[in-house]
Amino acid sequence: MCVKVELKRFRVVKEVGRIVMNVRIFACYQLIEVCQAEYFRQLLKPIT
């Protein structure tokens, strides 16, 4: 019984870890895209 509970908990922790990793990767990509958009906007802005 105790082993089953531990296994279940481990599985839940693993699942949460995977979700957190996906969120982190997604946030990182969003940040990169925003930075690139800003960078290109600065580049394409006519020099005055």
Q: Output the pLDDT for position 32.
A: 94
Tens of pLDDT, residues 1-48: 677 888 898 899 999 999 999 999 999 999 999 999 999 888 888 765
Q: Output the pLDDT for position 7.
A: 87
Domain that holds residue 15: 1-48
Residue type, 12: V
pTM: 0.57
Instruction: Give the count of domains, the chain.
Output: 1
- Structure-block tokens of residue 13: 């922790």
Angstrom distance (rounded) from CA 23 to CA 34 = 16
Q: Output the pLDDT for position 3.
A: 79
